[in-house]
Structure 1
């Protein structure tokens, strides 16, 4: 087995300004694409070798899409035309502003400019028990874990006579009423109505519970109250149970306890309740706030003119956005493209231009023909028109023609057949301390 100390970054020296981009998400990819040319050496680090389209991650989790339909290899995005671009699949361990170096697990590299585009990670608000047992949904491996858990729950419920245990397997608790939670709840409701009764004809899926928990008084809090109310009506219409103004106090893998004492048995709690910035050690505490790096209007981290942050990890305050920009793809895309222009201005010794966010709107889907949209000029859509808009926007922003074609064909197939086409347990998910699950695997010879 190759040891870490035997590896090296193997990046050539250069006399050009070196831009180190940490993160291959929406911000990092759009920045790197705009730096195409002969003026910079661009080095990108990411723990994964692919760029993922995370707004569709819930469809991977609910067996609607395969992982490679929403992901594209980062190396494929930057072909030979991108001169002096270097990608390394490696974890960054720290940034040292004094020596102007970025440290990774296999070595260090100097930089002229470093751009932090690491996005976010789940925020469990210090509750280690929930962190241990809940299912997050931020990365493809997590979506595959959740997909296995969902399908295994149906398989086990189909073979259990104990009604209480069967019900606990059919209780699915989603914590967080934002877009991820709402869209996931809608997808599960679609499966319950159209897919699962055909797969398991002997089971009564009217007893399957989908419980959406939100700490505030409405779902989709960032969107317009009209859209929130319409979303609530859609969710109730398709049989999703809403618990508003409700917080989860604990979860031990089998029992969910809400603040106030109410409890429900469930083997699946999905955590979509909050995120925090995926920060990198090295910058002083005063450079960040609430888990995000404080940046000026040029995306420079406050106090460090050669260190930039873009996307969800950046906290840029303005009169219109006193708490920073919304945590969606568009700010990252726009900041990445804008920062590329400013980096060119820096090497040309031209004044920088401040970033101005153009809000293209927000959308959320709640199952077939049900969606809501908040668009510019205070325009609000719902129903079929919003659903079509959601489909078009997500196809448009998918990276790669193949991915667009695969996703579109899957959606067309599903529209006419009411089928989720990938209900395969590729790798069983069993918690290490789940003795009952381990016994099930052993007893039924599931490898």
Structure 2
């Protein structure tokens, strides 16, 4: 079985923890072969309407032809050179037209490249070490952040002692940090909005004001909001400009590209026009690789000539309304609910006692997979058609019927095959540890 072979050769059986087999019902994690639009096919030829779309990195659909055409054209001209290309300049100009609050930009490959560079730059610019991060799920694979998660093995405690947390939409918690650590906070890092949380009136403006008052660098993580809230990110939607912003995911519609953008006086500390000690800002072999830059420019053109965000929002509303109506009809709206920004939907799953439940979540995933729907969420793309949405609503209605039976029975025993999914970032492999008695394999 391919999944078993993956576990033999790749730790965790996947190169991204969120893509791991432990995030899906046992024996049902398909190994994929290809995708087109919003449909993917596994190695056995089974097709699925997919959600999540490359961990939210695909907004235009798999194998979106204008992006593929731009990439194909660039392939004939080479990928990586010993000097900058004209394409790098054109891509930078495109980016800065989208994000008018930024003066300069550097490209890289992973979102973590950008967020870690922002932290380093803020520390250098301010001469301080403490970083205040909002209490949100994820910022970086690097030690400064991963050391604050349950998967902190191998990370010195001294690395994370310089991180402080504050609450989203809780300006008092941030104000308290500034009071307790006066003159020591280099940067405030947050997502301006998430799938489940919009900024309260005045919150982002208040954060901006606090940073200005205390000489602290304000950093927006636009990994998810960029190209999903708008082409100009959350800062364009909410009208608050950070000092630095970090981008990735949908920039390349699945092609690997990220960016750090910001004010000239900060970004130049990593350049050649400064008399200050230079910051090792971003310097990566593959950051300016031409194929991903060509993909990015094609994405910019798609957003300039169309309205992918509007399409996602309209389709997302139809999807949420359809699934929530099915739950209401079955009398289980208090147990399963599709919530969040229409372009970035998730679903909640609760047990018969009304508590959040991984077991019931797994049952819902299991029944969706059996009906040709793949996804840990309902994060949509502009490629999802009305037929895709209707197929999903119909599949969800059937899955919810099974969910209702399990609720009536007081649990998933007899309904769920295998063990429940587990959080991707957890200290131990249990409760989905693999050994001779437990194998998580797809049909292929």
Normalized against structure 1, the TM-score is what?
0.25
User: Which of the two has greater helix per residue?
Assistant: 2
User: Which of the two has greater strand per residue?
Assistant: 1
